[in-house]
Structure 1
């Protein structure tokens, strides 16, 4: 007992600490941990910034140039030549279809009538949108012709993917008959089950972490993007590969030109409104404007005289006239002082020299001109050639999984049942077909006098179904037969 007591007295005893000192040490340790964490975060941010700068420099060094573009300009007055609202919408749908078929990158809707001759049909663009949305009157900053505004709105509506239209296009009378129009079926109108690296989307108002946003890109779940944007903005998202550990689908915001530049896929067109013919050239969205401008008219040079691949371009513009042609559009433009529209263009071409109709409608001229100029144009930067047939949906791919039995109609099912029953009795039919049957001699045509005279009477068999007799003989025989047998007489 004494030894244990001695050992306990020999152990060094720590001085007693008050609770105040203990709390101060804890606070100091916590402060030190916060400083270490802040230093680590700062170091990480600096590394990310340095890597982003390096990637940007490397991307600029190895970035691909944007492919050459084709723009078309059509007058909005072509809708006024239609007889009903349904036909006006259908004409706009034809313009959109032709633009997508020939991979047009920009569609310009210009006014070829002018303010002085069509003042009563003008209306305020912002006022029109305010009246339809119910937000009150807007300020009269600019006026747009009603037909041009309707054509531009329908073109934008058809270009937008179906799952995004409810976000950008409220109910409007210009879109009343948009359901009658044929879908464009462009590559960026992706189905839900399509797995492509780029998608069009809209920023949602769903709460996300700082510096990020959620976007609806046509999938079951929203995609987390790497930028914080206001809701309702249309974006182009590059989809990242999904990781096994995370359920969230992530994406990166890219330029709308990147899908076409990287993969060569046609990614739709942009729509622009020009108030006159001169604004087509002066308000070009490209740096340096359009380098090649082509005008179409029946007074131009024949397209057959233009050599193939002789028109080199980087940003080409093809202008189409309205009901009165480009000459009337030039006369209604007060800013242009030239008298001949041929002076405005590098090439003034007649795309169909020997036309059978007196006039060619603009929607028809668009298809004819784009088809005729395909071999004449030579882009400086061609599209990238990639095989994307397995990634992009086809026209017959509706996106609705259906069983094979559903696809088979009742008519086909009945035909299959009939074929099955006929196969059971097929051996008897084959045996009947194999048995020889006596050949029935061919009779001459009773209405051909020359052939009937050449055939001998002995060649006609007595076992035939009928005999060719004269009309008087046949009538006499029928009368005698009726007299002998009263039961065969009929009225």
Structure 2
């Protein structure tokens, strides 16, 4: 099963400062880790961005996804990473030690340069970056995490292997492109105006996700997916709260503050389903990271 999550570049639009925005992205990274998300994709929502936009979101999430022992080597000092000390530890199993076998230890590295002749430069737990051949079955680009089998450290003997890695990759794609390139499975848009997930419907939904995988999209604070997609008739756009008159904590929502009703979006880039995964929410607002925990917990449940 391949699981992808799509979040907008405006996801930190309500954060009062860079520190709070970093903390919010840490919760998103935690959610992706807890539910074994494979791909975390940031799609552009330029109209919803404020001081911190897509580049900041992508950088912080990429940093969070980087194994701790490689972070300093890969990232150094960057303005976007000023407050990464507030990020919660992800504790991904593959980043807490190497798996040893008779053929060597298994670790992971980050591709820092793609060269000719199917070779790449990789930073890993070895003292210096190494140039390695890329197997035909492995697709890489700069920033890709790869599994490396180290059979000797002096002299260095290592190779890239086609082995699944724990943790998630981060990329930036237009929403339409992300759906077109989605792995086999269903594509789901989450919205408080979507079809309600009921106990009768849940087994079928979860079975589809666990059998074939899914790509699940979330909205931003004060901007549900219909609004982001430019649906002028969406309830979100008709009842948008004036965020200047309330505190940021009261406007952090993946939808709006109106009563829930099923709405067929006029602008749909190709989702298979529009789902309301928190049909009886007790708060007027649900944060994006909270919606991720609630939605992924439901849709990945097993028999």
Match of 1:180 among 49, 66, 86: 86
Instruction: Give the Cα–Cα distance (whole angstroms) in 2 for the partners of residues 269 and 201 of structure 1.
Output: 13
Cα distance 1:237–1:299, how it changes in 2: closer, same or farther (>3 A)?
same
CA deviations on 1:169-225 (whole Å, 9 max, x unpaired) are 13211110001211211122134x764742123689xxxxxx999965325x66977
Cα distance 1:350–1:222, how it changes in 2: closer, same or farther (>3 A)?
same
Answer whether contact 1:331 1:339 (CA < 8 A) is retained.
no
Q: CA deviation at 1:89?
A: 0.4
Answer whether contact 2:22 2:83 (CA < 8 A) is retained.
yes
Q: Which residue of 2 aligns with 1:253?
A: 160
Cα distance 1:354–1:342, how it changes in 2: closer, same or farther (>3 A)?
farther
Answer whether contact 2:176 2:269 (CA < 8 A) is retained.
no
Answer whether contact 1:259 1:267 (CA < 8 A) is retained.
no
- 1:93 matched to 2:26? The reply is yes
**Relative CO higher for 1 or 2, CA cutoff 8 Å, sep ≥ 6?**
2
Q: CA deviation at 1:112?
A: 2.9
Q: Matches of residues 423-442 of structure 1 in structure 2 within 5 Å?
A: none
Cα distance 1:222–1:214, how it changes in 2: closer, same or farther (>3 A)?
farther
Q: CA deviation at 1:100?
A: 0.7
- 1:351 matched to 2:262? The reply is no
Q: CA deviation at 1:341?
A: 5.2
Match of 2:187 among 267, 279, 293: 293
Q: Which residue of 1 aligns with 2:299?
A: 373
CA deviations on 1:347-394 (whole Å, 9 max, x unpaired) are 221111111001111011000100111227x9xxxxxxxxxxxxxxxx
Q: Matches of residues 153-172 of structure 1 in structure 2 within 5 Å?
A: 153-172=59-78
RMSD over aligned Cα atoms: 3.5
Match of 2:219 among 298, 321, 328: 321
Q: CA deviation at 1:325?
A: 0.7
Cα distance 1:332–1:154, how it changes in 2: closer, same or farther (>3 A)?
farther
3-state secondary structure, aligned to 1:294:
strand
CA deviations on 1:34-55 (whole Å, 9 max, x unpaired) are xxxxxxxxxxxxxxxxxxxxxx
User: Could you tell me the TM-score, scaled by structure 2's length?
Assistant: 0.70
Answer whether contact 1:223 1:251 (CA < 8 A) is retained.
no
Instruction: Give the Cα–Cα distance (whole angstroms) in 1 for the partners of residues 132 and 9 of structure 2.
Output: 40
Instruction: Give the Cα–Cα distance (whole angstroms) in 1 for the partners of residues 82 and 124 of structure 2.
Output: 26
Match of 1:306 among 198, 201, 205: 201
3-state secondary structure, aligned to 1:357:
coil
Q: Which residue of 2 aligns with 1:198?
A: 106
Q: Which has the higher strand share?
A: 2
Instruction: Give the Cα–Cα distance (whole angstroms) in 2 for the partners of residues 369 and 212 of structure 1.
Output: 40
Instruction: Give the Cα–Cα distance (whole angstroms) in 1 for the partners of residues 218 and 53 of structure 2.
Output: 16
Who wins on radius of gyration, i.e. which is larger? 1
Cα distance 1:212–1:87, how it changes in 2: closer, same or farther (>3 A)?
closer
Instruction: Give the Cα–Cα distance (whole angstroms) in 1 for the partners of residues 119 and 191 of structure 2.
Output: 52
Q: CA deviation at 1:303?
A: 1.4
What residue ranges of structure 2 are gaps of 5+ in the alignment? 113-117, 135-141, 233-263
Instruction: Give the Cα–Cα distance (whole angstroms) in 1 for the partners of residues 122 and 269 of structure 2.
Output: 48
Instruction: Give the Cα–Cα distance (whole angstroms) in 1 for the partners of residues 91 and 11 of structure 2.
Output: 24
Q: Which residue of 2 aligns with 1:237?
A: 148
Q: CA deviation at 1:159?
A: 0.9
3-state secondary structure, aligned to 1:157:
helix
Instruction: Give the Cα–Cα distance (whole angstroms) in 1 for the partners of residues 6 and 265 of structure 2.
Output: 20
- 1:340 matched to 2:266? The reply is yes
Instruction: Give the Cα–Cα distance (whole angstroms) in 2 for the partners of residues 320 and 352 of structure 1.
Output: 13
Q: Matches of residues 87-166 of structure 1 in structure 2 within 5 Å?
A: 87-114=20-47, 146-166=52-72
